[in-house]
Amino acid sequence: MHTTAQDTADVAIIGAGIAGASLAWALARGHEGAPPQRVLLLEREDQPGYHTTGRSAALYMASYGTPAIRALTRASRDFYDAPPTGFADHPLLSPRGVLHVATAAELPALVALQAELQAIDPSVRRASQAELLAAVPVLRPEAAVAGLVEDSAADIDVHALHQGYLRGARTAGATLLTKAELAGLARGDNGAWTLHLADGRQLRARQVVNAAGAWADVVGTLAGAAPIGLEPRRRSAFTFAPPEGVDASRWPAVAAVVADHGPDGEAWYIKPDAGLILGSPANADLVAPHDVVPEELDIALGIHRIEAATTLEIRRPRSTWAGLRSFVADGDMVIGPDPAVPGFFWLAAQGGYGIQSAPGAAALAASLLLGQPLPPALRREGVDAAASSPGRLRR
């Protein structure tokens, strides 16, 4: 499909990361029996998912996030376990598991976390120090006095997921435009939007979806919408080699339990990753939206924390990177029509949860965009559209 000033798409989605790609897939195919939508998917970079989707730690954890985000994550599990035929040529999930480990000082926080997680996943269980050290022998005993085991956590093949959405959307008729930087938005008297691109092109669509990640408030301003108060936060990570002769590939991921450290309550985590180990200080540093790079201090802090909690020696990381995780004040996502700008729809503030909840978030967004009732999978998990509504931020 080629859209000109005389050829109006049903929906233009700004941003082709996991949020935009998954919604484009749902709309172009015909969500829950609705007619397929004519979709334009715009990405300002050379490749979709450059800033955040491609820099994810790639873990499915039903316990991760606010209650509303956890509901979307649980509603996504069926898709991950059994994606549509042809979506990917191998499973999207592979078993991993997570250990939440606590020092003696953090045992009260561990007890509170156990009660919270078991309320949503009864399979989460307490683990003794002996069990923790047997599962990940490099843990120092003082860093793992006790812990929790979350067996249902799994690795996500983010590349296969993202490419499956993009390929499926294009096959269904969606048009993906890269190097398509939005410079302006104007809504005409007939309700249709004209999208002005930086290279001079003009496109038209009846509805515009703001899936621009850390730049969502910038795009909102172009549409005349009030800001949602988006806060992009830098998270840095690195990979390093396991000890010589040690096969770490079957280790679970390990995250420290900390009573008060950042929006996610973590001080460090490690996770096996393609023959190496991925590590992070679990930082959440407020920054302006930009092509973020890791700060040396972040990497040094992560190395220090991991070496203090384990016997691992990290002489030189193999690679380092950073990504932006964008939040609003209450930590929930922003999914829904703008309360003051007709035809403008928010799909933003995924935080660090956009990959694990992508199928559920796309189903919620598609239902709201098309004026449909929520699908059974979302209702079954208690997804409440009001919890993600942009209107909640402006009361």
Summarised one tens digit per residue, pLDDT across range 84-143 is 999 999 999 999 999 999 999 999 999 999 999 998 888 999 999 999 999 999 999 999
Q: What is the mean pLDDT of residues 1-18?
A: 77
- Long-range contacts, stretch 192-198, CB < 8 angstroms, 24+ apart: 192/8, 192/343, 193/12, 193/223, 193/343, 193/344, 194/5, 195/12, 195/42, 197/42
How high is the pLDDT of residue 4?
43
Residue 6 has pLDDT above 60, yes or no: no
How high is the pLDDT of residue 120?
83
The predicted model scores a pTM of 0.93
Least confident of 51-60, 140-149, 247-256: 51-60
Residue 255 has pLDDT above 50, yes or no: yes
Summarised one tens digit per residue, pLDDT across range 347-388 is 999 998 999 999 999 999 999 999 999 999 999 999 999 999
Summarised one tens digit per residue, pLDDT across range 54-88 is 445 689 999 889 999 999 999 999 999 999 999 99
Q: What is the mean pLDDT of residues 302-317?
A: 96
- Tokens 């195919």 locate to 29
How high is the pLDDT of residue 67?
93
How high is the pLDDT of residue 261?
44
In the structure, what pLDDT confidence band is assigned to residue 395 with cuts at 50, 70 and 90?
Answer: low
How high is the pLDDT of residue 51?
52
Q: What is the mean pLDDT of residues 159-173?
A: 97
How high is the pLDDT of residue 366?
98
How high is the pLDDT of residue 190?
93
How high is the pLDDT of residue 57?
62
Residue 393 has pLDDT above 70, yes or no: yes
In sequence order, the β-bridge partners of residue 279 are: 238, 270
How high is the pLDDT of residue 63?
87
One-letter-per-residue 3-state SS of the chain: CCCCCCCCEEEEEECCCHHHHHHHHHHHHCHHHCCCCCEEEECCCCCCCCCCHHHCCCEECCCCCCHHHHHHHHHHHHHHHCCCCCCCCCCCEEECCEEEEECHHHHHHHHHHHHHHHHHCCCCEEEEHHHHHHHCCCECHHHCCEEEEECCCEEECHHHHHHHHHHHHHHCCCEEECCCCEEEEEECCCCCEEEEECCCCEEEEEEEEECCHHHHHHHHHHCCCCCCCCEEEEEEEEEECCCCCCCCCCCCEEEECCCCCCCCCCCCEEEEECCEEEEECCCCEECCCCCCCCCHHHHHHHHHHHHHHECCCCCCCCEEEEEEEEECCCCCCEEEECCCCCCEEEEECCCCCCCCCHHHHHHHHHHHHHCCCCCHHHHHCCCCHHHHCHHHHHC
How high is the pLDDT of residue 54?
47
How high is the pLDDT of residue 3?
42
Summarised one tens digit per residue, pLDDT across range 257-291 is 987 544 444 589 999 999 999 999 999 999 999 88
Residue 26 has pLDDT above 90, yes or no: yes
